[in-house]
Chains A and B, each alone.
Chain A
Amino acid sequence: MGIKGSRELVQNVLQAGMCIGCGACVELCPYFRHYKGRTLQVFPCDLESGRCFAFCPKIEVDLDALSRRLRGCAYEGLDLGVYRSIRAARAGAALPKASFQGGGTVSALMAFALGSGVTDAAVLTDREGAWPLPRIVTDAQDVLACASSKFTAAPTLQALNRAVRLGHQRLGMVGTPCQVTAAAQMKGGLASQEDFRDPVALTVGLFCNWALDPRALNAFLGERVDLDRVTGMDIPPPPAEVLVVRLGEESREISLQEVRPLIPETCRLCPDLTSEWADLSVGMFEGRPGWNTLIVRTDRGGDLVRAAEEAGYLELEPMPEENTAHLAEAGRTKKERAFRTALRENAVNRENGCSVLRLPAEVVDRLT
């Protein structure tokens, strides 16, 4: 299929309800904008091919090509992607305490990377009420303000594109699997850019089963709480089955049953639970509050983890095998569901027109 332009992107992603609003196409050009949870093309563009299409994690994502370029091997549909090691982790004593979702591992990694000069800026996601707010952070102190999950899709990569334009050359970013996939596709640049140099020095990916549509969530919450007072959200581990909305000192519990309809359709086609294209992936450690699961996937990810541990930013422990197995099962379940859905909706390996995903046929066969 190859890299097409914004016409195909608008038709197959934006108008088809496939856009997750990651921001990868925003601030590359004057055409795409993101406003309150929705990505749109303001003015028409007729270029035959563009970065908007190339970077989008919802169209023509060639998993095999990504795997060969980033991991040096074919895409096999591994449950948790290619990785070096899995550890239990939490923030060390060197990081000030903050309102972390789990063990503060992500904040610790980003703060250390900034402080140690591995990165010159971090692209993170803050919140403004119930709206996610992408931010470019250059001071390690400001990392903590962005701690904790937003549970919504967020245009974080808009800030990445802006940071590149502002001249940052060693960016760190934290993102969900879709955002990390887009960032991974950016690493290829475009054929037309001969002098392309990857400006991203570190990607920390989050575990994600789904995110909520921010417009739908705001409308939903707006009927239940004062949106201006929202300070945070949490989904405690099962069997709680609730979304906790924090309003300063108070909180409101909302049944997940009510919240699930706010999951965008596009999440059902996502095969990635653990941000397989990141340098490091971080998620919950089920059954051990205050700790995270940390997956090391690349050399530079491993180097950073070692240095952060030495500097007292990170505490590491071995990951029990049964936890790894449980996570792998969850990873496989998400893949199988996504590939089955993609097959049913003719969204994988299409011969004519745009696919959402491309990957070796035998992997699809094996997992469906």
Chain B
Amino acid sequence: MAKESGVLLQVDKMKTVFQTQSGYIEAVNGISFHIKKGETVAIVGESGSGKSVSAMSILRLLEKSGKVSSGRILFKDINLNELSDEEIRKVRGKEIAMIFQDPMSCLDPVYTIGDQIIEAIKIHEDLPKKEYYSRAVELLQLVGLPDAKARMSIYPHQLSGGQRQRVMIAIALACRPNLIIADEPTTALDVTVQAQIMELLKKLQTELGTAIILVTHDLGVVAEMADRVVVVYAGQVVEESNVIDLFNKPEHPYTEALLQSVPRIETNKNERLMAIKGSVPSLYDMPTGCRFHPRCPYASEICRQEEPPLMNLGENHYSKCWIKEKDIKKVMQNVNHNEQEDIEIIDSPHFGKHQNKKILEVHGLKKYFPITKGFFSRTVGYVRAVDGLSFDIHEGETLGLVGESGCGKSTSGRLITSLLKPTGGSVTFNGQDISRINRHALKKVRQRIQFVFQDPYSTLNPRMTVGDIIGEPLEVHRLVKGTEKYARIVELLETVGLTRNDIQKFPHQFSGGQRQRIGIARALATEPDLLICDEAVSALDVSVQAQILNLLRDLQQKLGLSYLFISHDLNVVKYISHRVCVMYLGEIVEIADSEVLFQNPLHPYSQALISAVPIPDPEGKSERIILEGEVPSPSNPPSGCKFHTRCLIATDTCQTQQPDLKEVSPGHKVACHNY
């Protein structure tokens, strides 16, 4: 890469190593990229690809065991890697600032936000006392916190997640840095808040001309924000290009697969997702040659033997792949596609039909958690987590449940499985009211309703083998014993795509995707009718997420399962569900067939939610409805229509009267006064 004019930061063959018990491991293996003034460069990759470590390496913010072992990091012609600790401290915050993922843990809870912003200025600038204060107020106004003066004396816990992220941005901007490194700045936020923060970052960039390095795994965010994209895989750059070329004609097979494995709003539901087989290699065990070859559909002998160089394909488009002749690639792609189609065609007998009988009916379901205070635990109020929920699920159907955090979607799942006792309402499963049955009968029902949890890391007991984990439901319900049990466990493992050799392994020996498969196998052990998937793919990388989504759909085909699919990811919900419920503050605001809902959302909240989802297409930037504020607290919900505080078309009626869920067309219900 030749040095061009206006280059702000040039990272050149940077290697970062960590010392571990078994020697040094390379987290970053020779990454090079540059960023110009006022530009946004996105570093994209899956977990473990080294994207965050690269970002931290620039400012040498690594843990003690890690260090940049070779390469240069040139910032304004100074090699940051050669600076002393004292010198680099002057660069941090002043020249290059960072925004972290989790705004909850990055602010010190014992200082006011004003103090924390002032501290950031004080470290680098010597000003008269009054000016610190006015600068801080200015910064808060800049990041769009209303009533900035009053907010100066507020503590972090008094702010919501989105507001805290704004404060973090204000701190990052405190000394007008030339470069901001934003490590997953919106990942921990809800979609509607994410949209606000992305708008803010873009606005600030045009106003202040700051360059941004955006580290993210979300291709939607990349398409929205970035000018250029650097794709990293296993500690190496595999492709670099401007954003439009990258999305339109990805060159590296990994980029290509990554783009195809994300379900989009327009993805055809009857197609399988293109999944990348396997998972990201461990740092301890890197493949030889091209690091992507074990997962690459085009891999040939040379890929296994030799590592490809980063090849220039013209127009500043680089790809680290041996296959550069487009035609050859096309041919291979065709061969490959044929192969894939043989295995991966799905036609769906159950799909799209829900005349089948109802398997689950939920009516007026409520859950109030008491808020207690004082020595005698007086109840002073209630958190209305779920407030009158009604829906039903048919046999072989997938019902999606979407909403932002705190809307009560996970609580609903737990109420249906009686992990929590409802405050009111009924849950009828196969014609039996299960919200008020005794323990014995409940155990029988639990055999038929199973749960797939979000986090595949923490839902498996670390001290049990996979065989014991999957065998547990069989034991609990005394279904099979001895050799029969073993045979059943093997069968289950094979159903979810694992092998019989995995039976005596422990959970920590598996990757995230494989653990989720174990979780699914456990859920299937009792041959249930209904699976409740609570954010079942949210903790997984996109390439693995596609595998699990495909698996869930295959299982539905094969076993005729019904799913209640709870997720905050609208694209995933759209892809997998037949019908979708949109929840807001414990209530359903809209329910419709998924195609209908996404094409013609009626409720203002559904409209905003759907438009807030970042679309992985840099040219298809649609007009976005940006909602003000954040979800109110469920302990003190607004009167009337709960959404009226954020609604753009709210009238006086909305403030006083609660709208009912009305059927506007067959199967499409909405709770809004405008319909």
Tell whether A pairs with B: no
